[in-house]
């Protein structure tokens, strides 16, 4: 029941929506012309944003499984003007076999079986993470992988990327967007997703323009602002042999 003006503003903002006015409200309408049922605007949308992180967070999980290393950095939502720059950084670091982390960790040092980057983890509609993932090879540790990753992150903050790297990333990104529109299913997915994220399906084609405008200076600026220790979350599975369970392996003597 609508018992006060604040309740009516919060729960009864739309005269054509739900819930309908109760009988007492209808009875009072003739006596209280200022009742907010008909005139109140809709309440403002509620958006919950995580406060800025002020210290590095590290989570270690001991497990008999093989080691796994994950490192993430907070980044804004997909609607941020620098979204294309974040995508370029992720691709330069771990976008395929020509990326920096693949060549360093997998091809040259052979300390990781695989390495990849997830730009917009776990979803990019709201603020999310730029995440790096690696699996150490047998005989190597998470600490070795971490050291090698950090070396490449320091490098991308100090040295401009090469013209070849930037052009490769732009070509790959544009090709991926075009491939996503090759059939009816792809077109439907792209239109629906873009409309849900941006409120305008035309952003599909504007993304190509934003990718083309990314510069080496943009990458340096965003990398320095994002790849900071205080903005970092680290998670790893640390291999730990399973403890022997009581009663297992015990010799059973016959009577």
* Predicted confidence pLDDT, tens digits, the chain (255 residues): 444 555 555 555 454 444 555 555 555 555 555 555 555 677 777 777 888 999 999 999 999 999 999 999 999 999 999 999 999 999 999 988 999 999 999 999 999 999 999 999 999 889 999 999 999 999 999 999 999 999 999 999 999 999 999 999 999 888 888 888 888 998 999 999 999 988 899 998 888 889 999 999 999 999 999 999 999 999 999 988 887 666 655 554 554
Per-residue pLDDT at 243: 75
- Determine the distance from the C-alpha atom of residue 116 to the mean position of all C-alpha atoms in its chain, rounded to a whole number: 14
CATH top class, domain 57-239: alpha beta
- Determine the distance from the C-alpha atom of residue 168 to the mean position of all C-alpha atoms in its chain, rounded to a whole number: 23
Domain ranges in the chain with CATH number 3.30.830.10? 57-239
Per-residue pLDDT at 25: 56
Per-residue pLDDT at 179: 87
- How far is it, in rounded angstroms, from Cα 148 to Cα 153? 9
- How far is it, in rounded angstroms, from Cα 197 to Cα 124? 8
HEC string of 128-175 equals: EEEEEEEEECCCCCHHHHHHHHHHHHHHHHHCCCCHHHHHHHHHHHHH
Per-residue pLDDT at 15: 46
């Amino acid at each position: 029941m609508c018992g006060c003006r604040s309740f009516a503003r919060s729960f009864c903002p739309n005269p054509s929506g739900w819930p309908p006015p109760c009988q007492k409200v209808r009875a009072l309408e003739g006596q209280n012309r200022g009742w907010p049922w008909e005139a109140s605007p809709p309440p403002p949308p509620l958006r919950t944003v995580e406060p800025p992180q002020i210290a590095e967070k590290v989570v270690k999980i001991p497990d008999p499984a093989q080691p796994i290393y994950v490192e993430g950095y907070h980044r804004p939502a997909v609607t941020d003007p620098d979204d294309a720059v974040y995508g370029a950084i992720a691709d330069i670091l771990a976008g395929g076999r020509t990326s920096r982390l693949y060549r360093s960790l997998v091809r040259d040092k052979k300390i990781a079986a695989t390495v990849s980057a997830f730009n917009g983890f776990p979803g990019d509609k709201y603020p999310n993470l730029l995440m790096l993932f690696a699996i150490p090879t047998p005989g190597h540790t998470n600490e070795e992988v971490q050291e090698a990753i950090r070396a490449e992150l320091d490098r991308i903050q100090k040295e401009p990327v090469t013209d070849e790297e930037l052009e490769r990333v732009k070509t790959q990104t544009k090709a991926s967007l075009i491939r996503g529109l090759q059939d009816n299913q792809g077109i439907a997915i792209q239109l629906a997703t873009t409309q849900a994220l941006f409120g305008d399906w035309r952003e599909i084609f504007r993304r190509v323009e934003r990718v083309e405008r990314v510069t080496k200076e943009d990458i340096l600026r965003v990398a320095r602002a994002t790849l900071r220790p205080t903005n970092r979350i680290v998670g790893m599975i640390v291999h730990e042999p399973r403890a022997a369970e009581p009663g297992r392996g015990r010799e059973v003597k016959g009577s």
